[in-house]
Amino acid sequence: MKISGLMKMTLLDFPGQVACTVFTSGCNFRCPFCHNASLVLPERITGEELSEEEFFAFLDKRTGLLDGVCVSGGEPLLQSDIAEFLRKIRERGFKVKLDTNGSLPNVLRALLDEGLLDYVAMDIKNTPEDYANTCGIDDPPVEGVRESIRILMSDKVPFEFRTTVVDELHDEEKMRNVAQWISGAQNYFLQDYTDSDNVIRKGYHSCSAQKMESIRKTVAEYVPTAKLRGI
């Protein structure tokens, strides 16, 4: 595993659990508004990695103090040894939450079938037609994303969908189409874009509070659980 970061405790990343968050490096998307450029872009990855031995030594000391581990990125499902890594976490009695862009449904399905995941948070970048512009690659795996949606909607494990709403990339009509795509989802969170020095491309903006609330109301027609997060 290429572990490029560790948040030793979080009360926010894993719903209902006290957890740590481990960040893997590398991603198959180049979302211009991504705030983890140092985990995604090869030229900005520092090369400073935490070994598995160091991570599990840390985790062993947190037995009884932490409930779970969030595995984030980058895109964790790109890691060839992701299943073995999760097995080692589960063997120690910790729950696992996965953050994913949903582009690798076969890997997601295999992890779910083996019972290695307790919660999944999947990004929905935009409408299928707008995926290329939003995730920063010319030929995005929209069908893979579509299949991951179907897998999670089968309710094998608690999950959430989430969209980072960017003023220049999203509007009410696009978000209505997204909501129709995931109609009836367990949980759907709309997160306002926040600028930082670690975004892949500068120049994007957050939405007004009025626009975010208007989008939430539109989305809630199809996904009644839709909520604003971090606003």
pLDDT tens for residues 214-228? 999 999 999 999 999
Res. 231: pLDDT tops 80: no
CATH of the domain at 13: 3.20.20.70
CA–CA distance from 181 to each of 34, 54, 129, 174 (Å)? 23, 41, 12, 11
Non-local (6+) Cβ contacts of 156 within 8 A are 112
Report percent pLDDT > 70 for the chain: 97
pLDDT at 46: 64
Count of other CB atoms within 10 angstroms of residue 182: 20
| Domain hosting residue 185, numbered range | 3-229
Res. 165: pLDDT tops 70: yes
Q: Round to whole Å and give the CA distance between 100 and 216.
A: 22
- Pair 33, 141: CB distance under 8 Å: no
Q: Which two tokens stand for residue 50?
A: 């935490």
| Strands, sheet with 227-229, edge to edge from the N-terminal-most edge strand | 3-10, 19-24, 68-72, 95-100, 119-123, 159-165, 188-192, 227-229
Q: How many distinct structural domains can be found in the chain?
A: 1
Q: pLDDT tens-digit profile of 125-143?
A: 999 999 999 999 999 999 9
Q: What single letter denotes the amino acid at residue 22? A: V
Task: Please return the burial class of 151, using the count of CB atoms within 10 Å of its CB with bins 0-12, 13-18 and 19+.
Answer: buried
pLDDT at 166: 96
Nearest Cα to Cα of residue 152 among 82, 79, 101:
101
For the entire predicted model, the pTM comes to 0.95
pLDDT at 44: 65
